Amino acid sequence: MNTHIATRIPSVRRSIRTRVVLAVGPVTALAGLVWAVAQPYRVTLLHPRGQGFWWLFVEPPLWVVAVGVLFALFVARGLAEDLEEEGY
């Protein structure tokens, strides 16, 4: 029986640029949440008195959160991989 099958997990040392790219999405989403809490009157979903669909749909803090999440899920990983391949 060979016990050398289990190998060590290689340590992943990422550059500062890669870390920044990976942090942009979560930081942006957090900024949107802070904005929504700091200025709750901007989020008219909380009090939609007489507001139409577009007024409710276009909520700046909610869009900031959405963009942060979408960037983190769909853009940041690929961009970080490209940066690591190029050696940055």
Q: Is residue 43 part of a domain?
A: yes
Q: Is residue 51 part of a domain?
A: yes
Per-residue pLDDT band at 10 (split at 50, 70, 90):
low
Q: Is residue 4 part of a domain?
A: no
Region 8-21: mean pLDDT is: 81
d(CA 21, CA 83): 9
Q: Which of 68-72, 75-79, 84-88 has the lowest mean pLDDT?
A: 84-88
Q: Where in the sequence is the domain holding 57, given as residue range(s)?
A: 16-86
pTM for this predicted structure: 0.75
Between 5 and 15, residue with greater pLDDT: 15
Per-residue pLDDT band at 64 (split at 50, 70, 90):
very high
Closest CA to 21 of 88, 76, 87: 76
Q: Are the C-beta atoms of 32 and 59 separated by less than 8 Å?
A: no
Between 1 and 39, residue with greater pLDDT: 39
Q: Is residue 79 part of a domain?
A: yes
